[in-house]
Amino acid sequence: MAASKQKMITAVFRDRFNAHSAYSWLTSHGYTPSEINLLMAESTKAKYYANPEESPIGAGTHAAEGAATGGAIGTAVGATAAAIAAIGTSIVIPGLGLVVAGPLAAAFAGAGAGAVAGGIIGGLVGMGIPESNAKAYEEALREGGIAIGVTPHSSDDASKIKDKFKELKGENIITA
């Protein structure tokens, strides 16, 4: 009997620290950067990831205070920020102002002008995200949010990923 195909779980994180934590959690649980989809506005990447040497968390933030308390967390987030910034498979979608990394980068690149014509919402719907959710994602991305999606390795993983995304204040968690 063939194993059932898992559907991608996606959430949008409005807080950069939570997005980094979700990404780090996924990589620590056996997911490779080539399996994790990231979407963010071009302006978000430019603002936070232009210089991977810089601290990914502003010194005056509560997140920085928390990271200072747990030095390992701060280091992990710094490493994640550098990984996100240096992702070689990320592409900028012209006309959309979106940076896409992971397996979806190839899908978006293949979609080309069709994705641009449909705007961000069209591109997200093309990824399998329902239109109502895509509208919420578009708004969050424009406001500096980061969307993360991954296809779980198992149904047990799917449950754990959803729980972790909820714990990290992921919004609009969907399985598509």
Q: Is residue 28 part of a domain?
A: yes
Q: Is the Cα torsion angle 158, 164, 167, 172 positive or negative in sign?
A: negative
Question: Does the global pTM surpass 0.85?
Answer: no
27-83 pLDDT, tens digit each: 999 999 888 888 888 787 777 766 544 434 433 334 333 333 333 444 444 444 445
Residue 26 to residue 84: CA distance in whole angstroms: 13
pLDDT in tens, 133-150: 888 888 888 888 888 989
Q: Is residue 139 part of a domain?
A: yes
Summarised one tens digit per residue, pLDDT across range 7-38 is: 889 999 998 899 999 999 999 999 998 888 88
Q: Three-state SS for 101?
A: strand
Q: Would the pLDDT of 166 be above 60?
A: yes
Per the structure, the count of domains in the chain is 1
Which residue, chain included where needed, has tokens 């080539």?
34
Q: At 4, is the pLDDT very low, low, confident or very high (cuts 50, 70, 90)?
A: low
Q: Name the strand (E) or helix (H) holding 63.
A: helix 62-69
Residue 67, domain member (yes or no): no
Identify the pLDDT of residue 16: 86
Any domain includes 150:
yes
Phi, psi of 127 (to 5 degrees): -80, -10
89-136 confidence digits (pLDDT tens): 566 665 666 777 776 666 655 555 444 445 667 767 766 778 888 888
Picking from 21, 6, 4, the residue whose alpha carbon sits closest to that of residue 166 is: 21
Q: Which residue has the higher pLDDT, 99 or 154?
A: 154
Assess if residue 61 is contained within a domain: no
Domain span at residue 120?
9-48+88-175
Residue 64 lies in a domain: no
